[in-house]
Chains A and B, each alone.
Chain A
Amino acid sequence: MTVTNLDNSKARTQQPALMRTEQLSLSYGKKIAFEDVSIAINQSKITALVGPSGCGKSSFLSCLNRLTDLIDNCRVTGRIFLEKWDVMNRNIDTIALRRRVGHIFQKPNPFPLDLWKNIAFPLKEHGVKNRQEIDSIVERVLKDVGLWDEVKDRLKDSALALSGGQQQRLCIARALALEPEVLLMDEPCSALDPISSGVVEDLIASLRQKYALLVVTHNLAQAKRIADYVGVFWVRDNRGKLIEFGEAKQVFESPQHDLTAAYISGHRG
């Protein structure tokens, strides 16, 4: 996959990557989920990972904030850097790491608490104790995700009473409250209805200014609309591979790899 690596380094020279992986591989027991994935994630850019289901895109995300630590039988090799920080180091403070690298899941997963507590509880755990400060952060992040006007009068209601799209935006607000630098998003729209999906997609696009976003999606049209960089995952020999990585325009308009071309044109995948 020399082509991939070339593209990758090209992308990297334009600006120093905020986060990058080198030859990252992951296996569950003897089954290899993906291998040799090297990508760079840049500040103020949206990097989209596309490809058919089951090629290890979600597993890849979970490596970046070491959520893989929670999964039995899961082995990760290769290297991950957040700036100069070696994420794979055993002794790293995963709590600090996860504060810097937020994660949004496919299925909205608000806590079974009220709206306010959903955001305040993690904040408190990270040392923000002042009630006024918490209130102002809650208001700010809810405004950031466009939820404030919808929910400001019912912050004490259960978060589970919200619609799917609202729940997902709450989850994004909850992650933003911790002021992360990188946001990992695992198919954040795929479990939502079309309208909510559109709202969340616009939200993601608007977050580009402040964060480095890595968005997994199998919605190619969505990747085309929002992504600055695109990585294409594919299953080969029963394991996931990154077959192409580069600027979105280039990947969509003149893909280097035959499979990418077939995938983008809708002939494969």
Chain B
Amino acid sequence: MKQEIIKSPISTILVWLVAVLVTGTFAWILGDIIFHGVGGISWEFLTTAPEDAGRSGGIGPILVSTGLILAVAMGVSVPLGVGTAILLAEFTSATNWFGRFVRRSLDILAGVPSIVFGLFGNAFFAKTLGLGFSILSGGLTLACMVLPILIRSAEEGLRGVPDELRLGAAALGLSRTTTLFHLLLPAAIPGLLVGLVLGIGRAIAETAALVFTSGYVARMPQSLLDSGRSLSIHIFDLSMNISGGDTNAYGSALVLVILLLMINATAAWLAHQSSSKYNDSYQFR
């Protein structure tokens, strides 16, 4: 179908203006970060500890803490999320009251502001469970936060697998478990990956939920029970609380942006790899 072209010059200008505004804002932010940050980045910056409250030195321990927090968050939330998604997609029908209840709860959870997750994590993981301000508390809090995204996209991935596959497998006398692990989960991998990336993306950029849980300490963590400062908190601290910390804040922000882009690209590539192997070609010829 041919698109109707808007003839009025005013609306044409308006539409272009909006588009330029959106892309321009993004380009400005990115450009600003690159312009100010690229000079600060070096191997030394990435590996050494911050000095003078972060004004000089690098972000080595902060990268390690960020990695550990992410690992805890994903290590806990991925198995839980995939498990719940399997329950929702394969063992409850779309109209089942329990499934609907779980889905509704997840939607609400997904909309809860991260500061609320932070306070919850502080009250529950840090105080009640006695984990204190630690990487473990922070990781577990983030796990709660990304679960809704993970579950929903994993569920979509599973529901996207054509029913012919389930019926065909059942007709050959394959058990549900076999079908799930050998056929459905592999076919759902693109969906799972998308969920994973969205989850990591949200977790790696999170600040508010970590302020109250994993804390501020910029030292190299010795264990998961140590407090650890994540990249996003480091950026926040440098730019808000430390005068003269702007250069390193820009450097850290650039590292964060590069990490995010790399994660996104990897996932897009992986999703493409497995989807060309499974779903896309799963069509009638």
- The interface of chain A, by Cβ under 8 A from chain B, is 65, 67, 70, 72, 94-99, 102-103, 105, 107-109, 111-112, 121-122, 125-126, 158, 160-164, 167, 171, 174-175, 178, 191
Contact = CB atoms under 8 A, between A and B. Distances in A.
Contact of A164 (B182, B186, B284): B284
* Most chain A beta carbons < 10 A, residue from B95, B278, B285: B285
A122 B174 contact: yes
Contacts of B282: 112, 160
Nearest to B186: A112
B172 A98 contact: yes
B106 to A, nearest CB: 22
B172 A167 contact: no
A75 to B, nearest CB: 15
Given A121-B182, A126-B173, 16 more contacts: A72-B95, A94-B173, A96-B173, A98-B170, A98-B173, A103-B171, A105-B171, A111-B169, A112-B183, A112-B186, A112-B187, A112-B282, A125-B173, A125-B174, A158-B281, A175-B171
Interface stretch (B8-16, B147-155, B160-168, B212-220): B160-168
Contacts, number: 76
A81 B169 CA distance: 23
Contacts of A122: 172-174
A105 B95 CA distance: 27
Contacts of B93: 72
28 contacts: A70-B166, A70-B170, A72-B93, A94-B173, A95-B173, A95-B175, A96-B173, A98-B172, A99-B172, A102-B171, A105-B171, A112-B186, A112-B278, A112-B279, A112-B281, A121-B182, A122-B173, A125-B173, A125-B178, A126-B173, A158-B277, A158-B281, A160-B283, A161-B281, A163-B285, A164-B285, A171-B168, A178-B172
* Most chain B beta carbons < 10 A, residue from A96, A108, A125, A161: A125
Nearest to B279: A112
A171 B167 CA distance: 13
A221 B183 CA distance: 37
What 6 pairs across the A-B complex have the smallest Cβ distances?
A: A103-B171, A98-B173, A109-B168, A109-B164, A122-B172, A95-B173
A149 B167 CA distance: 29
* Most chain B beta carbons < 10 A, residue from A67, A161, A162: A67
B105 to A, nearest CB: 22
A217 B168 CA distance: 19
Contacts of B186: 112
A108 B171 CA distance: 13
A139 to B, nearest CB: 19
A167 B285 contact: yes
A102 B170 CA distance: 10
A70 B285 CA distance: 26
Contacts of A97: 173
Nearest to B178: A125
